[in-house]
Amino acid sequence: MIEKYEKILKEKMKKNQIQGYEIYYEETKSINIISKLNKIKRSEWDYDSGIGIRVIVDGHVGFSSGQRTEDAEKVIHNAISTSKFNPVINTFSFAPKSKPHNINYDSVDYDDEDGIISKLKEYIMTCLSVDGHIESYSSVSFGKHEIINSEGVNIVEDWDSEVSLSTVIKQGDMSVSESLSLPTFNDRFYDIPNIAKRNAEIKQNGKRMKFDGTVVLDSDALYSLLSFYLSSFTGIRRHYKTVKYDVGDYVACDRLTVIDDPLNIQGTERSRHDMEGVPSEKREIVKNGMLRMFAYNREYAALDNVNINEYQGFCARSSYSNKPTIGFSNIIIPSGNDKIDELDNVAIIRSVFGLHTANPISGRFGLPIDNGYVLRNGEKIGLKDVMLSGNIFEGFNNVVAIGNKQDVNGPYIVPWLAIDGWTIL
């Protein structure tokens, strides 16, 4: 199917109706199993495929998309027609031909549908066996894609997988959710319901209290706040002048380094290239507290007239039907030397919610704590109906301890962090 689009686009280039093109083709396959009120419901396998087209017309970049069955002429016509509504970017071009890195990784067997369903049911049955189970959700999703453009890029990324499990366990009138995502099946999934139960028990016996001491973010809470923190360091935010920092500024303490690494095979956002065909590279976003770079795709790099070879490589797509944007891949914080699990008189935060209410410019936030406790003289005192309040940039400048081991969940490979200056109220 992709060849049909390429043939039409080449003809339009010959006639000078367009000056460049990019074709992104995607296929997905997924299944999920849900348990609710002790009943198990299995979905059917879901398949989707489609194409996203970008064209350059007199300096304007147009985009359109369509499912596999969509008429190719219509999709291309729509991309050309919409280009006039976008600004002229005279220096923009699609990614040049290059050779992506060769990385090898394990993936769930795409063809073993019965085995996949059996494994997902095992996870759900483990959740159901725990007292207080309310609901659980397990899934496997696959994706593959191709990228072809007028500069010679021709990339095929074969099937990769993501396995996810989430569960909600209730003890008394308190419930806690736990979740985990990894590239393949893993014994860690069997631990999730019991972790949720233990934390629900702590929460049930907890209380509302104010705490002004050291706050410890476990890996799950940290990756929620990291997504908010890193959103400040994209070319989109820089282009629209909604960030107060620039390259060379200190945005964290000198012990903290934050890395984007799509070549790391432990995370779920692993890839040989970004979503416009630029070869993947390991990049330090923050090194020893200093902001080293902003994340750009080629479009925003051209808009901001930055060094495209230095800043590109962060193009992301949520699906073929959405215009390419900027995003990070696997986010890594190197572990430190601190045994955070041996700290006392600290608050341990496992999950927060409501990040959409945080101020992306100032960094201020007040987030309800879904799961956490204060550790005082070895006793765990659950937290109920409280909020974590502070400033993300000030907090990352006040990191007092970095855990000596990393956890992996989704695209985040991070240790626990201990932070001063935040308040629980």
Residues of the chain whose pLDDT is less than 70? none
* Statement to judge: residues 283 and 408 lie in one domain: no
pLDDT, tens digit (0-9, with 9 covering 90-100), for 247-257? 999 999 999 99
What pLDDT score was predicted for residue 146? Answer: 97
* Statement to judge: residues 286 and 318 lie in one domain: yes
* Statement to judge: residues 25 and 132 lie in one domain: yes
As a whole number of angstroms, the distance between CA 162 and CA 139 comes to 8
User: Where among 165, 190, 215 does a domain terminate?
Assistant: 190
Q: Amino acid letter at 7?
A: K
What pLDDT score was predicted for residue 37? Answer: 80
Residue 195 lies in a domain: no
335 burial via Cβ count (<10 Å: 0-12, 13-18, 19+): middle
As a whole number of angstroms, the distance between CA 126 and CA 124 comes to 5
User: Where among 330, 356, 375 does a domain terminate?
Assistant: 330
Q: What is the CA radius of gyration of the chain?
A: 23
- Cβ count within 10 A of residue 61: 24
pLDDT, tens digit (0-9, with 9 covering 90-100), for 308-349? 877 889 999 999 999 999 999 999 999 999 999 899 999 999
Residue 378 lies in a domain: yes
Residue-number span of the structural domain to which 394 is assigned: 205-226+335-424
The pTM (predicted TM-score) of the whole model is 0.96
68 CB-near residues (< 8 Å, 6+ apart): 1, 49, 50, 51
As a whole number of angstroms, the distance between CA 418 and CA 425 comes to 18
* Statement to judge: residues 240 and 287 lie in one domain: yes
C-alpha pair distances (Å), 167 with each of 132, 137, 141, 189, 362: 11, 6, 18, 10, 34
* Statement to judge: residues 243 and 351 lie in one domain: no
User: Where among 272, 305, 330 does a domain terminate?
Assistant: 330
Q: Quick one: three-class SS letters along 168-205?
A: EEEECCEEEEEEEEECCCCHHHHHHHHHHHHHHHHHHC
What pLDDT score was predicted for residue 100? Answer: 84
* Statement to judge: residues 28 and 94 lie in one domain: yes
Q: Which tokens go with 275?
A: 């979503």
* Statement to judge: residues 257 and 354 lie in one domain: no
As a whole number of angstroms, the distance between CA 227 and CA 216 comes to 17
The CATH number of whichever domain residue 15 belongs to comes to 3.30.2290.10
What are the beta bridge partners of residue 403?
A: 338
* Statement to judge: residues 211 and 351 lie in one domain: yes
Residue 119 lies in a domain: yes
* Statement to judge: residues 259 and 316 lie in one domain: yes
Half-sphere exposure of 150 (CA within 13 A, CB side): 21
155 CB-near residues (< 8 Å, 6+ apart): 100, 146, 147, 148, 272, 273, 277
* Statement to judge: residues 7 and 153 lie in one domain: yes
Tell me how many domains the chain contains. Answer: 3
φ and ψ at residue 294, rounded to 5 degrees:
-105, 150
What pLDDT score was predicted for residue 389? Answer: 98
As a whole number of angstroms, the distance between CA 18 and CA 8 comes to 11
